[in-house]
Amino acid sequence: MITLFWFMVVITIVVFFHELGHFIFAKLFKTKVEEFAIGMGPKLFSYKGKETEFRFNLIPLGGYVKIAGEEIEDGELSDNPELFYNKKPWQKFLIAFAGPLFSIILGYIVLSISGLLYGFPEVKIEDVIDDSPAYYVGIKPGDVIKKVNNNIVFDSSILSLAIKEGKLLDLEILRNNNIINLEIAPKLYNPEYTIIFKSEKIVNLNNKTIKSFNLNPPENIGSILPNLEKGDKLIIELNDGSKIEGKIKGYNISQKRYAIGVYFATFSNIINKDYPPFKKDDIILSINSKAINNGLDIIKYLTPLSLDSEDIMITITNNRISEYITPINSDNLNIIILRNGKTMDLTLSKKEFFKILQEPLILKYAFDKWRPKGFEIITVSIQWANTLLKAMVDTISQLFTGKVKTTEVMGPVGIAGVVGQAAKAGPEALISLIALITLNLGIVNLLPIPALDGGRIIFSIYEMITGKRTNPKVEAMIHTIGFIILMGLFVYFTYNDILRFFK
């Protein structure tokens, strides 16, 4: 119920501001607005303005603005200048564009509020990979990246986007309260293939060079692996004649990419709040005798811990097996913690431990926050929003080019789950999520798809360029078809959300 409540609150806020944009510009151009509704479903109560009915509906989820002339209900056209389809093309363009514009503006405002209230996370280096660019230029664990190419780094994605371009980077680094400057050239890394499979036998890897992959040359892994499905046979022959055999359970492909060879700090090994049997400020020192020094060590330990008893996980790089991980079959974990200066032993089942780690903010962040000064809060917030917008545009383009699968797109059920988790994590996470959702709403609605604002914008641009008016009945029919398609996608994404839930 709490998740549903916050989901409805967040969606209502986001949709209200989106529809407010349409409403204001419609009124600005003397377009008749029949209804401005908060919520969906049957009417609870309403207030009748000069021409607009302001409705508060039963289901507090979203809202809408009903502009006269957007839909042709009786099949007859009118010369009434207050109707949407009788407006000048540039006016229709602005009325349609105002919704996404207000959504994006809201994102900028919310991010500014978040930065003002909570500050921005430091981008701290957790670890440096041996034989990497970062290793050779002298970047060290604990370094804080302040700027890249003179741009403020307030999120690791800023640095990641700069690295992605593969060009020489100028880094400003804070180390032991001193500022140092380094130049680093990202390295182009070949694709990596991580495969989890049910093994038929444990192989003692004396030789890690691959001779064949499913009876094909190892150079063909990139084209073979995407065509394999869960349960398919896996046969990897090594140069010494030994074989790795099993049935595919899952895989991940990291495409060729630029990197500098660092892990960013995320969370620490310190408990953030009381959650039995842990208490706030407990420090996890080891798990089953494996030393835990930071959050990265916990992540690395969870990988074998999450594998089933017959599972194997391998990583293939440059036609060699670079990582071979077998499961930890112990059902119980011996966890040594430091509490109030004294070490203590805890015994937990794997299931209990995983449940604890799924609790929002159970571990403290491994980085500090910093607060911009003066007008810097505005410039940094704008940069933050611009980064998010660019990432969203890239994701949408990858969706259309097939680089991102439609099964990875989150529908309403998935969004509700994320909102619920953010609400549990606290107001900071919830505020950031509102910004993310409203920016997404703005960008998605600009897509040139009928029934979306972007579809109406395209028709307006066509009329401005050609000087010809689109037949309102034809346009209305196209938008109706688009709406039906969108509803089909809505059902499809919801179905995928439900499948993920049961998995």
Going from the N-terminus, what domains does the chain have, and what CATH number goes with each? 2-117+432-502 (no CATH), 121-188 (2.30.42.10), 193-221+267-360 (2.30.42)
Share above pLDDT 90 across residues of the chain, in percent, rounded to a whole number: 51
Question: Quick one: three-class SS letters along 19-71?
Answer: HHHHHHHHHHCCCCEEEEEEEEEEEEEEEECCCCEEEEEEEEEEEEEEECCCC
Share above pLDDT 70 across residues of the chain, in percent, rounded to a whole number: 91
pLDDT at 187: 96
Answer yes or no: is pLDDT of 157 > 90: no
Answer yes or no: is pLDDT of 219 > 70: yes
Q: Hey, is 394 helix, strand or coil?
A: helix
pLDDT bracket for residue 316 (50, 70, 90): very high
Do 127 and 141 form a contact (C-beta atoms < 8 A)? yes
pLDDT bracket for residue 85 (50, 70, 90): confident
pLDDT bracket for residue 400 (50, 70, 90): confident
Answer yes or no: is pLDDT of 75 > 80: no
Answer yes or no: is pLDDT of 1 > 70: no
What's the rounded Cα separation, in Å, for the pair 199 and 208?
17
- The β-bridge partners of 45 are 56
pLDDT at 451: 83
- The β-bridge partners of 267 are 365
The pLDDT of 396-409, averaged and rounded, is: 71
Answer yes or no: is pLDDT of 93 > 80: yes
Q: Kindly report, residue by residue over 12-64, the tens digit of the pLDDT.
A: 889 899 999 999 999 999 999 999 988 878 888 888 888 899 988 887 767 88
**What is the CB-side half-sphere exposure of residue 393 using CA atoms within 13 A?**
7
pLDDT bracket for residue 472 (50, 70, 90): confident
Residue 110's nearest CA partner among 418, 420, 432 is: 432
Residue 409's nearest CA partner among 495, 331, 487, 482 is: 495
Active site residues: 19
The pLDDT of 383-388, averaged and rounded, is: 83
pLDDT at 120: 85
This prediction's pTM: 0.76
Answer yes or no: is pLDDT of 269 > 90: yes
